[in-house]
Amino acid sequence: MVLLSGGQDSTTCLAWALKRFARVHTLAIDYGQRHRIELEAASEIARMAGVAHALVPCDSFRALGGNALTGDEAVTAGVRAENQLPNTFVPGRNLIFLTLAAAFAYQRGSANLVTGVCETDYSGYPDCRDETMTALQESLRRGMDAPFVIHTPLMRLSKADTVRLAQDLGALPLLAHSHTCYNGLIPPCGACPACQLRAKGFAEAGIADPLLERLARA
């Protein structure tokens, strides 16, 4: 069960899972992303990979970050966080996402959860850390009486390492459809932090971004 956001990291994780497991399923969480294009990218990438894909809604985050909590300031912070960094918006968001993925996996007889969380890029975010994933895995195992394993193939990788891994896995055609830009633009704006981090990773790996190549051909 791969948590697929439609971004570069989770798309690479999908390719990793396809090499490792005979049966792969993807899951996207619709938590009210400002840019629906992310969910469309996830769906398209799953289709290209030939795997079953599910979209699970979760309307809790808007309420937690919005009126139910601290009002306008939180809403602003939330909107920003939804499009920039995980976990600024609602602490522990990855805990929720992975618990939903586990519930979904449980009902399909799967115990393997794959997520693109990474300490390297987001070391300030406690729910991306390896020690959090270890504790969460234990919590899921006990809470559902099932032998869950949370796989985090990107945990220690730099963005350049992730790009190299994607190439090794033959995932560049999938990455050509991944979405990264915080501003929700196609072609990507190139200026936002997400675009810049992506560009830096491809540059350092010495590999052309297949998304930009695809758009240039289009």
Applying CB under 8 A, which residues contact its own copies? 54-60, 63-64, 68-70, 74, 90-96, 99-100, 102-104, 106-108, 126-127, 129, 131-132, 135-136, 138-146
Considering the complex, state which of residue 116 and residue 201 has its C-beta at the smaller distance from its own copies: 116
Beta bridge partners of 18: none
Considering the complex, state which of residue 51 and residue 146 has its C-beta at the smaller distance from its own copies: 146
CA distances from 179 to 45, 69, 107, 184, 187 (A): 10, 30, 29, 8, 10
Given a contact cutoff of 8 angstroms between Cβ atoms, the answer to whether 157 and 166 are in contact is no
Q: How far is the CB of 83 from its own copies (least distance, A)?
A: 19
Considering the complex, state which of residue 134 and residue 196 has its C-beta at the smaller distance from its own copies: 134
Considering the complex, state which of residue 96 and residue 212 has its C-beta at the smaller distance from its own copies: 96
Q: How far is the CB of 157 from its own copies (least distance, A)?
A: 21
Q: How far is the CB of 13 from its own copies (least distance, A)?
A: 19
DSSP letter assigned to residue 126: G
**Three-state DSSP class for residue 73:** helix
Supply the DSSP string of 177-196, one letter for each residue.
T----TT--SS--S-SHHHH
Q: How far is the CB of 56 from its own copies (least distance, A)?
A: 5
Q: What type of residue sits at position 185?
A: L
Q: How far is the CB of 130 from its own copies (least distance, A)?
A: 10
| Radius of gyration in angstroms for the set of CA atoms belonging to the chain, rounded to a whole number | 17
Considering the complex, state which of residue 101 and residue 169 has its C-beta at the smaller distance from its own copies: 101
